[in-house]
Every structure is written in C-alpha cells, then in structure tokens.
C-alpha cells in the first residue's frame, strides 16, 4: 500500500507530462527507471504469504504465493513472475517414503524429513548427552530420566540412538526403603565419599 501511494506521488510529481495514466510504457521515462531497481522496469507489490501447504508430510505438497504489479495501472509493467510455486510439508510421513523425486534425510536431532537433493551422509559426531526430563525419583537409582543428543552436522550419520533412558537418583535411600533399588548396590563415590548406588 505504501508503495502504491509513493508510486502515485512519483507519477504525479516527477513525471506528470511523460508518464500519464494512459501512456504506453516507455523505458526512457525517469520515473520508470527509478522504480525499476529490483525487477525490470515496473514496481512489484510485496509477495503474498505462502498459501496453506496442500500436504503435511513427505514433501508431497505445493504452495504458491503471488504478487501484483503496482505500476501496471500507470503504464509501467513489471518483469518477472507474478506467482511462485514450491514444494512443502517436509517432515517425513510416518511409515511412508518421501514423495517422488525427494529424498529422506535425518536432522541433527533425529527428526526424519524429506528434501529435494540426495542427502550427503558423511559420518557425523555425537554431541554430549543432555537431560530432557527430570529424574522421577530421589534415591537408590530408582528413578528414570531421558536424555537426548545431537548428531552434527545435520544430514550426517551417527550410529546409535538419539534419545535414551537412564537410571538416576544415585544416593542411598533411607529406611524403610532399601538403600538401593533392584539391580544396584551400595557403594561410595571415590572422590566425595558420598553414599551412592551403582550397577
Ligand atoms: C519413573 O519413570 C519410569 C519410566 O517412565 C517408570 O517406570 C517409573 O515407575 C517412574 N517412577 C516413579 C517413582 O514415578
Ligand atoms: C537404542 O535403543 C533401543 C531401545 O531403547 C535399545 O534396545 C538399543 O540397544 C539402543 N541402541 C544402542 C546402539 O544403544
């Protein structure tokens, strides 16, 4: 809208004699040259938002966006496309391959997605584990918590799981609970001397 207002202003002030509203486009007009810096000789309005993707996964969908030529009514047509199309819905479909002509790839966090080029799969490097939940118990290694790790760079391959569950809460439990849950036994941390449970 601002562009249109600016355009109308320029048309009426700068080029009143040469670029009248009914004129055929003339590349020598100063106004048209001024307006042309981006795309030929006309002035485009901004692109619309992308339309809703026609699919949710597998890169099976398409979406479009359009734009209109703001200077067209003033005799300065735009060059370039008034519509763009792209594929969309890149997340992988559960249990299904990617759509024709697209390739399955693994993101750094283990997410499966589809892309247009064949994935480059150099060996990746695991990043350190980080907690994605709190320990759900306080002692005896009776708790469980989940961890995740990233494989970098994205698109590369690491062997192993992106997430795991581990036992947690390593201090001894106090009576009446047994000090350690089944599968763990009493021990001492060699550095801090704290009472802990170990496998
Ligand atoms: C902690 O989570 C694990 C796994 O979800 C579950 O088996 C266990 O019963 C939980 N413990 C408590 C104290 O809620
Ligand atoms: C990945 O996780 C599964 C299920 O939790 C487990 O059985 C398997 O041993 C893990 N693989 C590796 C390489 O740790």
pLDDT score recorded for residue 15: 38
For the Cβ of 161 lying below 6 angstroms from any atom of ligand 2, the answer is yes
Whether ligand 1 lies within 6 angstroms of the CB of 144 is answered as yes
The token duo for 85 is 């199309």
CA distance 8 to 19: 11
Q: Tell me which of 126, 147, 160, 164 to substitute to probe ligand 2's pocket, judged by most ligand atoms within 8 Å of the beta carbon.
A: 164
Task: Say if residue 19's pLDDT is above 60.
Answer: no
Write down the domain spans for the chain: 2-88, 125-198
pLDDT in tens, 20-69: 343 444 444 444 444 444 445 678 899 999 999 999 999 999 999 999 99
**pLDDT top residue among 30 and 171:** 171
pTM exceeds 0.75 for this model: no
Distance CA 180, CA 139 (A): 7
CA 160 to ligand 2: nearest atom: 13
What would the two tokens of residue 101 be? 């002509």
Q: Is the dihedral of CA 70, 73, 77, 83 positive or negative?
A: positive
| Domain 2-88 falls under CATH 3.20.20.240 | no
Beta-carbon contacts of 138 under 8 Å, excluding residues fewer than 6 positions away, are 169, 171, 173
Which tens digits make up the pLDDT trace of 138-152? 999 999 999 999 999
Confidence class for position 71, pLDDT limits 50, 70, 90: confident
């Amino acid at each position: 809208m601002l562009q249109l207002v600016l355009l109308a202003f320029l048309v009426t002030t700068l080029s009143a004699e040469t670029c009248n509203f009914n004129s055929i486009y003339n590349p020598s007009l100063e106004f048209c040259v001024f307006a042309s810096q981006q795309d030929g000789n006309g002035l485009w309005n901004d692109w619309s938002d992308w339309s809703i993707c026609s699919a949710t996964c597998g890169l099976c969908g398409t979406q479009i966006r359009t734009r209109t030529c703001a200077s067209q009514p003033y005799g300065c047509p735009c060059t370039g496309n008034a519509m763009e199309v792209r594929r969309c819905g890149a997340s992988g479909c559960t249990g299904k391959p990617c759509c024709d002509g697209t390739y399955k790839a693994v993101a750094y966090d283990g997410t499966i997605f589809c892309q247009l080029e064949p994935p480059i799969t150099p060996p990746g490097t695991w990043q350190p584990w980080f907690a994605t939940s709190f320990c759900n118990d306080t002692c005896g290694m009776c708790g469980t918590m989940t961890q995740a790790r990233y494989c970098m760079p994205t698109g590369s391959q690491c062997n192993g799981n992106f997430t795991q569950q581990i036992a947690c809460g390593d201090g001894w439990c106090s009576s009446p609970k047994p000090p350690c849950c089944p599968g763990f036994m009493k021990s001492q941390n060699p550095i801090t001397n704290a009472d802990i449970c170990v496998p």
